[in-house]
Amino acid sequence: MVASRSPAAGGHPLAGRVALVTGAGAGLGRAHARELARLGAAVVAEDLDGAAAAAVAAEITEAGGRAIGFAGDAADWATARSMVEAAIETFGGLHVLVNNAGISRPAMSFSMTEEAWDSVLRTHLTGTFAPSRFAAAYWRAEAKAGRPGQAAVVNTSSGNGLDGGDPGHVNYSVAKTGINTMTTAMAKELAPYGVRVNAIAPLAYTAMTAPLWGTELLPAERRAELEPESVAAVVGWLAAPASAPMTGRILAVTGSRVVLWRGWAPDTVVTTDGAWTHEKMAAAAAALGTAAQQRPLG
Ligand SMILES: NC(=O)c1ccc[n+]([C@@H]2O[C@H](COP(=O)([O-])OP(=O)(O)OC[C@H]3O[C@@H](n4cnc5c(N)ncnc54)[C@H](O)[C@@H]3O)[C@@H](O)[C@H]2O)c1
């Protein structure tokens, strides 16, 4: 059962709300779609794999919820526009957007193919931005028409996008770091229209992490807390009014821990009189080098 169970916190905090989840056919996206439905939202379950999206929508409706499947590429602008329109036309509005669709094409920089670079950046960056762009246009129009939506976007970052990136994942790390900045920049842009934009950096047992199952990162004995449903609970909370006014934040969800991350911050400062010269920089740089050597990169 999905939608018929009452959330422990009481009531259905997303009753009357409409949610769009990209990459909802499997893994984390499937869990997000089911959790948002359980919290009362009508759900558009979108995925490149249309059959998988339809199956998740069927699971939700069979459990008493409301959902449709939507097949398509979240990084295609026309598709992104269509999926936002489908939510509005089918369920009468849009209040929650979970940008979850993602792929991984691990490679060291010196072995990276053009396809691995382009597909990862496109799927994550454009696949997060394009649905957000069309949802944002709708929410702005609604606000200007006197109907501010109290809407919420939840983007999907990664530990690789927070810790300075890992060897073999430069494309993925760059894409996720871009999603961090998209989250903070769009949080500022959309605040005037009542839209909150946050992100999660999940860790879970899914097809994407299958090579890591049972390793130190995803220990078998902690599997219960590392299932997608645990991460989905945090997404459901970020989507619900209860998490207001939180916006522009990135929460890493690793099993039973949720960590609020901060972005780049000034570290060591060196100054000179007037403009820099090569010689002045060489003299001052010792302070930068010493500081940098005291801590690992990233
Ligand atoms: N699983 C983890 O531990 C973990 C860790 C960090 C970040 N993430 C991120 O979480 C998100 C979900 O990952 P997952 O582990 O559930 O992966 P997954 O491979 O199990 O599922 C991803 C889903 O996204 C769909 N998809 C891929 N490209 C798409 C596109 N262009 N348009 C629409 N759908 C598309 C796939 O068909 C699939 O159903 C991704 O953004 C991933 O980078 C996952």
- pTM equals 0.94
- Residues 138, 274, single domain; the answer is no
- Residues 166, 224, single domain; the answer is yes
* Ligand 1 site residues, Cβ closer than 6 angstroms: 22-23, 25-29, 47-49, 52, 73-75, 100-103, 123, 127, 156, 158, 202-204, 206-209
Low-confidence ranges of the chain (pLDDT < 50): 1-6, 8-9, 298
- Residues 27, 165, single domain; the answer is yes
Neighbouring residues of 293: CB distance < 8 A, sequence distance ≥ 6: none
Residue of minimum CA distance from atom 42 in ligand 1: 102
> Residue 87: phi, psi to the nearest 5?
-60, -45
Determine whether 172 is an active site residue.
yes
- Residues 48, 146, single domain; the answer is yes
Rounded CA separation 227/34 (Å): 14
Q: What domain range is 185 assigned to?
A: 18-261
The token pair that represents 266 in the structure block: 């000034």
Answer whether residue 10 is part of any domain. Answer: no
Of the candidates 194, 135, 189, 199, the residue with the CA atom closest to the CA atom of residue 162: 199
The CATH number of the domain where 174 resides is what? 3.40.50.720
- Residues 271, 248, single domain; the answer is no
- Residues 76, 119, single domain; the answer is yes
Asked whether the beta carbons of 202 and 28 are under 8 A apart, the reply is yes
Active-site position among 172, 193, 205, 230: 172
Q: CA 233, 244, 74, 129 torsion: positive or negative?
A: negative
- Residues 112, 221, single domain; the answer is yes
Answer whether residue 182 is part of any domain. Answer: yes
- Write down the pLDDT at residue 2: 42
Answer whether residue 9 is part of any domain. Answer: no
Write out the E strands in 146-210. Answer: 151-156, 195-203
Asked whether the beta carbons of 24 and 33 are under 8 A apart, the reply is yes
- Write down the pLDDT at residue 267: 85
- Residues 255, 272, single domain; the answer is no
Peptide bond into 131 cis (omega under 30): no
Tally of structural domains, the chain: 2
Q: What is the bridge-based pairing of β-strands 151-156 and 195-203?
A: parallel
Answer whether residue 7 is part of any domain. Answer: no
- Write down the pLDDT at residue 10: 57
Measured in angstroms, how far is the CA atom of residue 210 from the centroid of ligand 1? Answer: 12
Q: Is 23 left (phi over 0), alpha (psi -120 to 50) or beta?
A: left
Answer whether residue 272 is part of any domain. Answer: yes
- Write down the pLDDT at residue 293: 56
Answer whether residue 12 is part of any domain. Answer: no
- Residues 167, 290, single domain; the answer is no
Coil, strand or helix: which one is 50? helix
157 CA closest ligand 1 atom index: 7
